[in-house]
Each structure stands twice: as C-alpha cells, then as structure tokens.
Amino acid sequence: MTSVLKVVIFDDVVAARGEVFHIPGLSVDVYPHADDSVAVCTGDGGSPDVVFMDFEMGRGRKSGSEAIEDLRAAAFRGKIIAISSDPVANQRMRDAGANDALQKKAHLRSFLVHLASLEGGS
C-alpha cells in the first residue's frame, strides 16, 4: 500500500492565487499565513511530513522565521523548507530551524512533483 506524503504550505501569495496541487502521492494544504502553524502542524489532524514556509505573509502576520522557531519549540520534527525569493530571508529561516530552502517559489510545483516521485520510489 502506498502512503501519501502530507505537505503543508504557508504562503499568502500561493493562497491568494487559489493554487491547488493535485499531485499523486501528496496531500497538499495551503494556508495564507503561519499564525496558527503550531496548531496546524502538531494538532489532531496529524503532523505534516513536509512544511513549505514563506518569509513574509502580510502586515501584522507572523514571519516565516518566527513560525519556524515556534514549530521547533513545539517539537515539530518534520522537514521545513523555506520558499522566499529573497536569499537573506531564506537564510533567516534556515537559522530559525528550516532544513532547506528553495531559491524561487516559481519552482514549487516542480519541486512537489519531484518530491512525490522520490516518495513513490520512481
């Protein structure tokens, strides 16, 4: 039986565009901000395997680096990937506990397809 990789994306632009990801082997949920990231990632719905985190999600919203610090403090052990187009912001999120960073959000869909192929063993 093939398992489904649970992916969560915190990104205001991806959410505002209404992007939906139907990729076999992945279950992808998109959120417009990370203010509730700890509840989303550690709550009763089960922890995601991979979290993609933008840095800036709007005035008055928690930054990606703050959200990552909160997730790590709440003992979230899943993989976190920073997805800012700003290399300095990506480094700040890595410093806060992100495992990796994508250099351009434009490649997010391609990366998700690649991730699904790795998980599916193809």
pLDDT at 104: 67
Judged against a pLDDT cut of 90, whether residue 73 lies above it is answered with: yes
Q: DSSP for 23-77?
A: -TTEEEEEES-STTHHHHHHSTT---SEEEE-S--STTSPPHHHHHHHHHHTT--
Evaluate if residue 122 carries a pLDDT over 50. no
Per-residue pLDDT, 10: 97
Q: Would you state the CATH architecture of domain 5-119?
A: 3-Layer(aba) Sandwich (3.40)
pLDDT bucket at 25, cuts 50 / 70 / 90 = very high
* Spatial separation of the C-alpha atoms in residues 8 and 48, rounded to whole Å: 6
pLDDT digits 0-9 by tens, 90-112: 999 999 999 999 876 667 888 89
Q: How far apart are CA 37 and CA 70, in angstroms?
A: 8
Q: Where are the domains of the chain?
A: 5-119
pLDDT number for residue 107: 79
Dump pLDDT digits (tens) for 26-56: 999 999 999 999 999 998 878 999 999 999 9
Tell me: pLDDT of 71 over 60. yes
